[in-house]
Structure formats: structure tokens, C-alpha cells
Amino acid sequence: MSQLSNEEIFNLIHLAMDFKSGKIRSNNSDKFAMNLFFEDSTRTNTSFQVAEAKLGMKQIDFDARHSSVNKGESLYDTIKTVESMGVNLAVIRHKQDKFYEELLGKNLKIHLINAGDGTGQHPSQSLLDLMTIYERFGYFEGLKVGIIGDLKHSRVAHSDAEALTNLGAEVNFGGLKEWYSDEFKAIGPHMNVDELCQEMDIVMLLRVQHERLADNENKEFSKESYFKEFGIDMRRVEMMKADTMIMHPAPINRGVEIADDVVECNKSYIFKQMENGVYMRMAMIETLLGVKQFDNDPDQEREFVLR
């Protein structure tokens, strides 16, 4: 996200909204996409598949569990291999932070999208979050955002906190103090969850990432006490302002950071985020490699800064 200017972010949001409204369409039927997921995913993987299909792209299967990576092939050699066969776009999720550093500055022409690196960044999630916020409020400047949960292990927290701050929102944090590291201290204060619920325009919840916690942290973790202190239930929803949005990148842990009846309550945008994710991913792919066609004015062309 740190490579994107605010102008580029707005271009992506507007393009995604144009795809969503049907104002523009695109045909990339001569392009090949491969989604390389070295870490589990439901939303991001499926969303990129739907986005690629809507853009008319041909999708080439890749099964990380049965690839030659398991014989010691490097990520670079894997990507160079599929590029040489004509794949135009590689969407990569990897458990290693900054996996992409192995690929940058190398002899590659293929387009790359980071679909989440370890505990680093999750740019497509961040961009769909920004689209969902912009669609609801129409601006970012001055919005109060509270990010509550496992900040330490969340790539979404890193990406969203950085992007929202750059766009003029005021970002605050909640959850276990141990997860509130110097990186977040430099961005905004830590507040208790009741205060965040009363004051924020956007309450963004994060899952406790048990798979990234140490064994002793998992042993000491109590769902009940976490939910009581940091979880959002209807009592806390009722403390919120009338137009507060509740967001969560999902997967959600019901009864840990969010109560069952909050997941689909009228303040929840969780499934809207998933819906918008398809259009934002279309916008990302289109910006990298597409040819846009405008329904109303076929000769119209737009300049997109991101290449």
C-alpha cells in the first residue's frame, strides 16, 4: 500500500465502482491468469477467480500442495516458468513476509499481485475496505476508525492503518495491549472497546490468528474473557452512532471478536466487503493489464497512473 499514491487509490476505487454499476466492461479473453496460493484462503482466492472470469480471462490451475515448489523450486523459478508459458498475471499469497522481494528487480514481465504476505500486507483487502468505506461515506478525511483485535499478526491492520492515515482518516486501536506495537503507536492511540464503539465512524474487527500465536499464548487464551473485554455484541452495537459501520475482513470467529447476531446486523458491512472485493480486484487487474471499454462512450479513454 505504501507504493500507492492517494490519487492511484481513488482511481482504483472509481474504476471498481464503475465495474460494479456496469458503467464499464472489459474483455481480456486473450490473457491468462494464475492464482498461486501457498497459504489457505476462501475469500481472496475465490474473489480473484470471479474477478478474472468477469474480465474474460483464462484461468490456469495451480495447486501449491502438488507443485514443484515441494521439490525445492524457488518462487522466482516458478513464476519465470509460468511466464515463459504465456501466463500474464500471477496472483500470489504466501506465508512468508515480503515474499515478493525475491521477485522484484528480476527479469520478469508477468504482472504480479500480492494476495497477502505473511503478517506483512494485504493490499487487495485494504483496497476493497477503502472502496466500501468510500461507497458509504463518500470521503475519508476526518473519519474516525477503530481497528480492534490481533494487530500484531494482521496484514490487514498494517495495510489499512497506513492507507487510511494517508487518506486523512483518524485511526485508533483496541484489543490486547501486547498486540499494540510501536508501529501502531506511531499512528494512533489505544482505547478501550466501549469508547471505540461510542466514538468511531468505523469499527473494524480483526480475527485472533491462533495459527500465528505461540503454543503458550494459545494455551493461555480464553475465548470467554477475550469476548467479554474486546468482543462486539449487541450491547456494544447499541452504543454506536446511527451511521457507524462494522467491518471485518473475515474469516470471522463468532463468539470471540464478534457475536453471532452482530455478523449480519444492520450496521455490518462484512458481506458488502466481500461483494466489493470482486469489483476492486477487477479494477486492480484491469489497471495492470486491461483494455477498458466504455458502454456510453466507446472512444473514451482514461489514464491510469498505476502500471
Q: CA 284 → CA 179, 181, 249, distances in Å?
A: 31, 30, 18
Closer to ligand CP at the Cβ: 41 or 166? 41
132 is in an annotated binding site: no
Grouping H, G, I as helix, E, B as strand and the rest as coil, residue 82 is helix
Q: How far is the CB of 44 from ligand CP (least distance, A)?
A: 3
122 is in an annotated binding site: yes
Q: How far is the CB of 96 from ligand CP (least distance, A)?
A: 16
Among 251, 260, 261, 271, binds ligand CP (CB under 6 A): 251
Q: How far is the CB of 290 from ligand CP (least distance, A)?
A: 23
Decide: is 35 part of the binding site for ligand CP (CB under 6 A): no
Decide: is 165 part of the binding site for ligand CP (CB under 6 A): no
**Conformational region of residue 133, where left means phi above 0, alpha means psi within -120 to 50, and beta covers everything else:** alpha
Burial class (CB in 10 A: 0-12, 13-18, 19+), 25: middle
Decide: is 250 part of the binding site for ligand CP (CB under 6 A): yes
d(CA 173, CA 186): 11
Select from 40-48, 95-103, 161-169, 188-196 the region that touches ligand CP (CB under 6 A).
40-48
Q: Which of 140, 115, 139, 142 is nearest to 249 (CA)?
A: 115
Q: Which three cell numbers stand for residue 281?
A: 480486484
Distance, C-alpha 194 to centroid of its chain: 26
Closer to ligand CP at the Cβ: 231 or 249? 249
Select from 41-49, 76-84, 223-231, 282-290 the region that touches ligand CP (CB under 6 A).
41-49
236 is in an annotated binding site: no
To the nearest 10°, report the CA torsion of 68, 74, 79, 80: -100
235 is in an annotated binding site: no
Which residues 91-150 are close enough to bind ligand CP by CB under 6 A? 116, 125
Q: How far is the CB of 93 from ligand CP (least distance, A)?
A: 7
Decide: is 42 part of the binding site for ligand CP (CB under 6 A): yes
Size of the site for ligand CP (CB under 6 A): 9
65 is in an annotated binding site: no
Closer to ligand CP at the Cβ: 83 or 93? 93
Among 14, 25, 43, 144, binds ligand CP (CB under 6 A): 43
Q: Which of 258, 266, 259 is nearest to 242 (CA)?
A: 266
d(CA 44, CA 77): 24
Decide: is 198 part of the binding site for ligand CP (CB under 6 A): no
- The pairing of strands 24-26 and 292-294 is antiparallel
Phi, psi of 106 (to 5 degrees): -95, 175
Closer to ligand CP at the Cβ: 121 or 125? 125
The full DSSP string for 167-213 is TT-EEEEES-GGG--HHHHTT--B--HHHHHHH-SEEEE----GGGS
Decide: is 41 part of the binding site for ligand CP (CB under 6 A): yes
Among 35, 44, 268, 276, binds ligand CP (CB under 6 A): 44
Residues making up the annotated binding site for carbamoyl phosphate are 43-44, 93, 122, 125, 250-251
- Residues binding ligand CP (CB under 6 A): 41-44, 116, 125, 249-251
Write out the binding residues for L-aspartate.
71, 155, 207
